[in-house]
Amino acid sequence: MTDSNPLYQHTVFIHPNMLSRFSRLFQQGVLVQATVGCSVHAFLCHQIGIRPDYLENRIQTIFLDGKAIDAPEQSVIANGSTLALSAAMPGLVGATFRKGGKYATLRAGITDTSSKIGMHEETGCVTVRLFNFMAAEIGPLILKLGIIVTGRDILNAISDLESTENAFRIDAHPASSKSPVGTLNPHDNILLILSPE
C-alpha cells in the first residue's frame, strides 16, 4: 500500500492521450472524492471547474440519484450521491428531462424536489456519470481531480494496448518493467489521475 487514503491503494497517472479509453467508465459511473453538502452548481463549477455558461447551455440534463433536477443551485449533493450529466437529448422524452424544460411536467413523478439546503459541507464521495459528449468534454476536468476505479477497470480499458510505457505512471514510478500497469491487482481500488502533458 503506497497511499494513506483509505479509499484506494495506488495512484495511477495517465497520459492525456489515453483518455478516450476510459469513456466507457464514465458512462458506468466513477467515484470522485469531493466536498459534499454543497449545491450541484457549486460541485460542478467550483470543484470540477466547469464554466457556468457551459453548465447553463451545454449540460441540458442533470440527474441527481436518478431524478431529473431543474435548479442546480438548489439541489444539494450528499455523501454517496450519484450525479449524471448529458447534453441535449432527442425525442419528447429527451426534452422532458431537460432542466427547467417546458415538458418537465411529463416526468413530474421523478423530479428531485427535495430541499437539502442547510446540510453541512464535509468530505465525501460522489459517483459521476458522463453521457454522450460529456465524457470527452468534462472527463479531463474530473480526471484532473482523480477518480477512484478498480484495478480491473484499468486492465479492461488497456487490454488491447501493446505497450503501456509512457502512458501510465504508478504511484511515483513510470510504468516500466518494474511496475507494469498490467500487474495491478484487479480488486485494488486505484486513484486514476491525469498527468500533466
Residue 95 or 125: the one with the smaller Cβ distance to another protein is 95
**Span near another protein by CB under 8 A; candidates 66-74, 119-127, 151-159, 180-188:** 66-74
The CA angle 167-43-67, to the nearest 5 degrees, is: 105
**Binding of another protein by 97 (CB under 8 A):** yes
**Binding of another protein by 105 (CB under 8 A):** yes
CB count in 10 Å sphere of residue 13: 21
**Binding of another protein by 177 (CB under 8 A):** no
**Binding of another protein by 15 (CB under 8 A):** no
**Binding of another protein by 118 (CB under 8 A):** no
Paired strand residues for 13? 169, 193
- Smallest distance, another protein to C-beta of residue 101, A: 9
Residue 18 or 175: the one with the smaller Cβ distance to another protein is 18
End-to-end CA distance of the chain: 27
**Binding of another protein by 107 (CB under 8 A):** yes
Calpha distance 111→64 (Å, rounded): 9
Calpha distance 132→148 (Å, rounded): 21
Binding footprint of another protein, residue count (CB under 8 A): 38
DSSP 48: I
Q: Looking at 102, 120, 178, 187, which residue binds another protein (CB under 8 A)?
A: 102
Residue 27 or 195: the one with the smaller Cβ distance to another protein is 27
**Binding of another protein by 108 (CB under 8 A):** yes
Instruction: Return all residues near 132 (Cβ < 8 A) that are at least 6 apart.
Output: 86, 87
**Binding of another protein by 66 (CB under 8 A):** yes
C-alpha cell at 135: 465524457
Calpha distance 135→63 (Å, rounded): 15
**Binding of another protein by 61 (CB under 8 A):** yes
Are the CB atoms for 184 and 9 separated by under 8 Å?
no
Calpha distance 69→62 (Å, rounded): 6
Q: Looking at 5, 51, 79, 93, which residue binds another protein (CB under 8 A)?
A: 93
* Contacts to another protein by CB under 8 A: 23-24, 27-28, 58, 60-61, 63, 66-68, 84, 86-97, 102-110, 129, 131-133, 135
